[in-house]
Amino acid sequence: MGLFTATISAVRKGLARTREALAGGLHSLLQDQVLSDALIDDIEDYLIKADVGVKATVAIIEQLRESFAAGDIARGEDAIDFLKTSLKARFTTMNRALAVAPQSPTVILVAGINGSGKTTSVAKIAKSLRDEGRSVLLAAADTFRAGAVAQLEIWAQRLGVDLIKGEQGADPAAVAFDATKAAIARRSDVLLIDTAGRLHTQRNLMDQLTKIRDVVTRQIPDAPHEVLLVLDATSGQTAIAQAEEFKKAIDVTGIFLAKLDGTAKGGIVIAIQDTLDIPVKLIGVGETPEDVEPFDPDAFIDAMFTS
């Protein structure tokens, strides 16, 4: 059984801003209109503004122009259906389920730049897994930022899950080591490791991340089973550049795209699909632990366009 089998659909609420800007804008532009080259130019602008990315936009607009020229599409409204179908078609089949270890614990390492939403995302994953009846252990391996351990500790208390921590300034790899040992001893189903925010330019901090991974692997050879990179959807195309850099340091297995509710540029999911060969696995659509959804491309595109 995969993780995250039972979550409440929050994606529509989370995409409200994107839907308003993209679908709302396109709808007023195209409703009761006969399609034209000028309107197709405007559609192109909307896709770029929604952060769909140049690659997808150029390809889709080219197809749209061809279909328009061939007389296959004539009405403005039909162009929206065309966009939905073309956007959905860009998502190749990728395994978007969280990895599950053949033998517990499943270890999930969470990384990303400062403030991207890591700790909140850890709380969200912990809650969903706990609600599915799994035992969850948290590791507060952000010993760098003052208050970081306390922040995760509060989530642990609220959610009723156990936490392994070190003192502020302690070696985060030592915390990860202790937590892995504890997860094995306690027969936890899942160990979630929260880490400090870091930039790829901070060499020592990037090395620290690989050190955290290595101490886990030393105890459980096939772990971490998942390295989730938390990206902030509001940071737009720079999120993609960050992912490229993290990939160089550590084998990122999935993306948790946080803060989709805070942006009208939800099209970033398509740009990620087009440029990175890392699947978006989960999306964050708010600040509470309930605000998480497994990423489903078709449902996502529908939510982007359906009012």
Ligand X SMILES: Nc1nc2c(ncn2[C@@H]2O[C@H](COP(=O)(O)OP(=O)(O)OP(=O)(O)O)[C@@H](O)[C@H]2O)c(=O)[nH]1
Q: Residue 112 binds what, of Mg ion, ligand X, none (CB under 5 to 8 Å, by partner type)?
A: ligand X
Query: Using CB under 5 A, which of the segments 45-53, 112-120, 236-244, 253-261 binds Mg ion?
Result: 112-120
C-beta atoms surrounding 210 within 10 Å: 12
Q: Which of 94, 165, 91, 152 is nearest to 125 (CA)?
A: 152
| Contact pick of 132, 153, 178, 287 for ligand X (by CB under 6 A) | 287
- Could you give the CA distance from residue 212 to residue 194 in angstroms, rounded to a whole number? 11
| CB-closest chain residue to ligand X | 197
Q: Could you give the string, one character per residue 59-98, with x where binding to Mg ion holds by CB under 5 A and - elsewhere?
A: ----------------------------------------
**CB closer to ligand X out of 101 and 229:** 229
The minimum distance between CB 154 and ligand X, in angstroms, equals 11
If the CB atoms of residues 110 and 271 are measured against ligand X, the closer one turns out to be 110
Instruction: For residues 196 and 269, give the distance between their C-alpha atoms in angstroms, rounded to a whole number.
Output: 24
**Beta bridge mates, 283:** 257, 293
With binding defined as CB under 6 A, does residue 290 bind ligand X?
A: no
Phi, psi of 50 (to 5 degrees): -80, 5
Spatial strand order of the sheet with 136-141 comes to: 162-165, 136-141, 190-195, 106-111, 226-232, 254-258, 280-284, 292-294
Which of 118, 127, 225, 281 is close enough to bind ligand X by CB under 6 A?
118
- Site track for ligand X across 257-276, x = CB under 6 A: -xx-xx--------------
Name the binder of 153 from ligand X, Mg ion, none, CB < 5-8 A by kind. Answer: none
Burial of residue 34 (number of CB atoms within 10 Å: 0-12, 13-18, 19+) = exposed
**Contact call for residue 253 and Mg ion (CB under 5 A):** no
- Rounded to an integer, what distance in angstroms lies between the CA atom of residue 139 and that of residue 149? 9
Pick 132 or 153: Cβ nearer Mg ion: 153
* CB within 8 Å of 41: residues ≥ 6 apart: none
> With binding defined as CB under 6 A, does residue 24 bind ligand X?
no
Closer residue to ligand X, CB minimum distance, 83 or 148:
148
d(CA 46, CA 132): 39
Of residues 117 through 146, those in contact with Mg ion by CB under 5 A are: 118-119
Q: Which of ligand X, Mg ion, none does residue 152 bind (CB under 5 to 8 Å by kind)?
A: none
For ligand X, which residue of 104, 106, 120, 235 counts as binding (CB under 6 A)? 120
Q: Where are the alpha helices (DSSP H) in the chain?
A: 11-14, 16-19, 25-30, 37-49, 54-69, 76-89, 118-131, 148-159, 172-185, 203-219, 238-249, 268-275, 297-305
Q: Which distant-in-sequence residues (6+ apart) come within 8 Å of 204 by Cβ?
A: none
- Find out whether 297 and 10 touch, Cβ atoms under 8 Å: no
Question: Does 117 help bind ligand X (rule: CB under 6 A)?
Answer: yes
Contacts with ligand X in 189-228 (CB under 6 A)?
197
Q: What are phi and psi of 271, to 5 degrees?
A: -65, -40
- Partner whose binding site includes residue 44, from ligand X, Mg ion, none (CB under 5 to 8 Å by kind): none
51 binds, among ligand X, Mg ion, none (CB under 5 to 8 A by kind): none
Give the footprint of ligand X on residues 139-178 (CB under 6 A). Answer: 142, 145, 148
* Chain positions contacting ligand X, by CB under 6 A: 112, 114-120, 142, 145, 148, 197, 258-259, 261-262, 284-287, 291
* Chain positions contacting Mg ion, by CB under 5 A: 118-119
